[in-house]
Amino acid sequence: MNKTADINDIRKLFPALEQSVNSKKLVYLDNGATAQKPQQVTDLVNLMNSGINGNIHRAVHELSSKTTELYENSREEVMLFLNAAHREEIIFTSGTTAAINLVAASFGDKFLKRGDAVLISEAEHHSNIVPWQLICEKKGALLKVLPVDDCGHWRMDMLDALLDENVKIVSVSHVSNVLGLINPVEELISMAHSRGIPVMVDGAQSVVHLNIDVQKMDCDFFVFSGHKLYGPTGTGVLYGKRELLEEMPPWMGGGDMVETVTFEKTTYAPLPLKFEAGTPNFIGAAALARAVMFVNSLDKEFTQKQEHAVVNFMVEELSKIEGLKLYGTQGDRISLFSFTIDGVHPADLAMIMDKMGIALRSGQMCAEPLMRRYGVEAMLRASFAVYNTLEEAEYFITSLKRAIKMLS
């Protein structure tokens, strides 16, 4: 099949990009928060909501078997996408947050005890901090933090000392939602594994920009959200190595996750259903396959070239703006840029640029400890997706300069 290598052909699939905001053509640069959806994703969601709707795994009727098939085919699609070894290693969740909470609660319940430790990095999203704090508090375990340097890179020189025998699991982001840098996860994983410590990788940002091969990466868990990957909201994936998932207790109890239930003793369904209690968002999960197919349909060489062009342009142009500080510098990065400007508040910039039709993120980015690390209250973030053009980057820079002028 021919792969799409033209940005206009890509944009045509996204009706949301056609709209105007504040009487200006929308320039959507908040993809790090959520991405727009291609037509084929919304089509399937609509089709299922308006007819192909029957609860999965439960009934013998035609509609149920159709939805079950769509749901399980999506699992297969995600498995191939991540290059997981087995389909039962793919657990559908409501998002990255739910996936991390699942691992923290279930793995933590089984393997953490008083005096143990969990290692995260200083550049984590709140959703990769708080679930660990909850379980650590419950278990009397310690949450340890791998610091980042001024440029935003992990302090790999400190890793050896931090990975002591108390650490039972490491959970880190592949790409921080603030810094945009591609972290050396393979190096960290091999070091952790040499000490028998499993590693969870938060791929919420990276899965959208990089090719993920969980077997090559050798991570023990990999989590991401469907809605950032052009899929439906309320979908997410937990990949986990089979042996580990087998050992972990269920997190939520309910229908579909059981084998036999008596009041005395319940036995659980095998993977992956053990971790999918209750009626899942099966329409969303089914449509996630369409999002994955969309990503697969793109010419990777083209999208990478396009992203490099945006990164080079943005880094260069941002560096020319007086008083601008970009967080996350040097080394490989994705097209996600967080920065501050001396004397101008990010919220003001975001508000003015919204009037210019540009959607940005401002605030603490759900990463308060990282804000504190850099001594700022808030940042402004522009994050690009495959449908964003270089012209949009240019318009962003021109508009930013205009907004700064208005505000200073």
Partner 1 sequence: MTIKEVEQQIVEEFSIFTDWMDKYEYLIELGKSLPIINEGQKLEGNLIKGCQSRVWLNAEFKDGKVFFTADSDAIITKGIISLLVRVFSGRSPKEIIEADLDFIKEIGLQENLSPTRANGLLSMIKQIKIYAMAYSS
**Residues with catalytic roles:** 366
- Positive or negative, the Cα torsion across 123, 124, 130, 132? negative
User: Given the rule CB under 8 A, which of 156-164, 167-175, 304-312, 339-347 is the region that contacts partner 1?
Assistant: 339-347
Site string for partner 1, 135-164 (x = CB under 8 A): ------------------------------
User: Given the rule CB under 8 A, which of 6-14, 120-128, 286-294, 348-356 is the region that contacts partner 1?
Assistant: 348-356
Residues 92-131 that bind partner 1 (CB under 8 A): none
Under the binding rule (CB under 8 A), the answer on residue 362 touching partner 1 is yes
Residue number with CB closer to partner 1 (46 or 408):
408
Site size toward partner 1, by CB under 8 A: 17
- Cα of first residue to Cα of last residue in the chain, in angstroms, is 52
Q: Rounded to the nearest whole angstrom, what is the least distance from the CB of residue 237 to partner 1 in the complex?
A: 27
Residues 14-53 that bind partner 1 (CB under 8 A): 22
Under the binding rule (CB under 8 A), the answer on residue 345 touching partner 1 is yes
Under the binding rule (CB under 8 A), the answer on residue 83 touching partner 1 is no
Under the binding rule (CB under 8 A), the answer on residue 372 touching partner 1 is no
Under the binding rule (CB under 8 A), the answer on residue 407 touching partner 1 is yes
User: Given the rule CB under 8 A, which of 60-68, 114-122, 247-255, 340-348 is the region that contacts partner 1?
Assistant: 340-348
Report the greatest alpha carbon distance in the chain: 71
Residue number with CB closer to partner 1 (163 or 349):
349
- Positive or negative, the Cα torsion across 110, 113, 116, 121? positive
Contact pick of 211, 355, 372, 394 for partner 1 (by CB under 8 A): 355
Question: Alpha-carbon distance 97 to 127, whole Å?
Answer: 5
Residue number with CB closer to partner 1 (5 or 376):
376
Query: Are the C-beta atoms of residues 182 and 207 closer than 8 Å to each other?
Result: no
Contact pick of 364, 369, 374, 390 for partner 1 (by CB under 8 A): 364
Could you tell me which residues come within 8 angstroms of residue 131 by beta carbon, excluding any fewer than 6 positions away? 97, 100, 101, 104, 105
Token output for 148:
């980042």
Contact pick of 246, 377, 391, 394 for partner 1 (by CB under 8 A): 377
Under the binding rule (CB under 8 A), the answer on residue 296 touching partner 1 is no
Residue number with CB closer to partner 1 (62 or 377):
377
Q: Rounded to the nearest whole angstrom, what is the least distance from the CB of residue 355 to partner 1 in the complex?
A: 5
Sheet holding 324-327, edge to edge: 324-327, 336-341, 379-383, 361-363
User: Given the rule CB under 8 A, which of 49-57, 64-72, 319-327, 338-346 is the region that contacts partner 1?
Assistant: 338-346
Q: Rounded to the nearest whole angstrom, what is the least distance from the CB of residue 74 to partner 1 in the complex?
A: 32
Under the binding rule (CB under 8 A), the answer on residue 256 touching partner 1 is no
Query: How far are the Cα atoms of 26, 83, 237, 304 from residue 7, in angstroms, in the given order?
Result: 16, 27, 28, 12
Sheet holding 199-202, edge to edge: 90-93, 236-240, 221-225, 199-202, 167-173, 117-121, 142-146
Question: Alpha-carbon distance 315 to 326, whole Å?
Answer: 8
Residue number with CB closer to partner 1 (159 or 407):
407
334-367 burial string, b = 16+ CB within 10 Å, else e?
bbbbbbbbeebebebbbebbbebbbbbbbebbbb
Contact pick of 120, 185, 350, 397 for partner 1 (by CB under 8 A): 350
310-332 burial string, b = 16+ CB within 10 Å, else e?
bbebbeebbeeeeebbbbbbeee
Closest residue by Cα to residue 57 from 44, 46, 71, 45: 71
Query: How far are the Cα atoms of 56, 57, 128, 254, 389 from residue 279, in angstroms, in the given order?
Result: 8, 9, 25, 9, 39
Under the binding rule (CB under 8 A), the answer on residue 315 touching partner 1 is no
- Positive or negative, the Cα torsion across 289, 295, 296, 297? positive
Residue with tokens 């959806």: 37
Contact pick of 184, 234, 255, 363 for partner 1 (by CB under 8 A): 363
Residue number with CB closer to partner 1 (191 or 407):
407
User: Given the rule CB under 8 A, which of 96-104, 239-247, 331-339, 344-352 is the region that contacts partner 1?
Assistant: 344-352
Which amino acid would we find at residue 151?
C
Under the binding rule (CB under 8 A), the answer on residue 378 touching partner 1 is yes
Q: Which residues bind partner 1 (CB under 8 A)?
A: 22, 344-348, 350-352, 355, 362-364, 377-378, 406-407
